Amino acid sequence: MTQEKNPLIGKRVVKVWLAADRKAIKFDVEGGDPVVVRADGDCCSSTWIESFDAPGALLGTVSAVEDLDMPNLGNVAAQAQDKTSGYDPECISYYGCKITTDRGSCVIDYRNESNGYYGGNLVWPDDEYYYGGVYEQNVSKEQWRDPPR
């Protein structure tokens, strides 16, 4: 999704929620419907939200949303993180999304585990395609909680 089309641009975020399964984020916006972004993975892979580096910066008027290239930390994270898909990944891919508001910026770190042939992404409400995975492994239960600090 291009930055100009992102549904958060120009909106004032008043609350941010992370799904308990880490597969979705909900942005409550002033005077409008919530904006829900879903972590999605291709085919036989699983994508999850790993962390927010400055969640307080999200509470403000959004001026920019951009994808970031993240450093490849290798597969060491596969041994340490809580398994989201239930299978042993061969490859971890690292992704980032930077959201800038009038209060600063926050980088959302999200990851994908697969056999190395698949990747992941964040799917915004106006995106045309949401896959969910062969076994619906990327479908969130959307049980909302505060994001980790």
Whether residue 109 is predicted with pLDDT greater than 50 in this model: the reply is: yes
pTM here is 0.85
Please give the tally of structural domains in the chain: 1
Position 136 in a domain:
no
More confident position, 116 or 76: 116
Q: What is the mean pLDDT of the chain?
A: 86
Q: What integer is the mean pLDDT of 126-140?
A: 80
Position 142 in a domain:
no
The per-residue pLDDT for 56 is 94
pLDDT classification of 78: cutoffs 50, 70, 90 = very low
The per-residue pLDDT for 64 is 97
Position 28 in a domain:
yes
> Is the torsion defined by CA of 68, 105, 50, 4 positive or negative?
negative
Position 72 in a domain:
yes
Buried b (16+ CB within 10 A) or exposed e, 51-87: ebeebebbbbbbeebeeeebeeeeeeebeeeeebbee
The percent of residues above 70 in pLDDT, for the chain, comes to 85
Tokens of 49: 């939200």
pLDDT classification of 77: cutoffs 50, 70, 90 = very low
Position 48 in a domain:
yes
Position 138 in a domain:
no
Position 140 in a domain:
no
Determine the structural domain holding residue 33 and report its residue range. 3-126
Rounded to the nearest 5 degrees, what angle is found at the Cα of 104, between the Cα atoms of 102 and 108?
120
Q: What integer is the mean pLDDT of 91-120?
A: 92
Whether residue 3 is predicted with pLDDT greater than 70 in this model: the reply is: no
How many Å apart are CA 8 and CA 73, to the nearest integer? 29
The answer to whether 23 touches 138, Cβ cutoff 8 Å, is yes
Q: Give the pLDDT confidence of 36-51 residue by residue, as tens digits.
A: 999 998 888 889 999 9
The percent of residues above 90 in pLDDT, for the chain, comes to 58
Q: Give the pLDDT confidence of 16-28 residue by residue, as tens digits.
A: 999 999 999 999 9
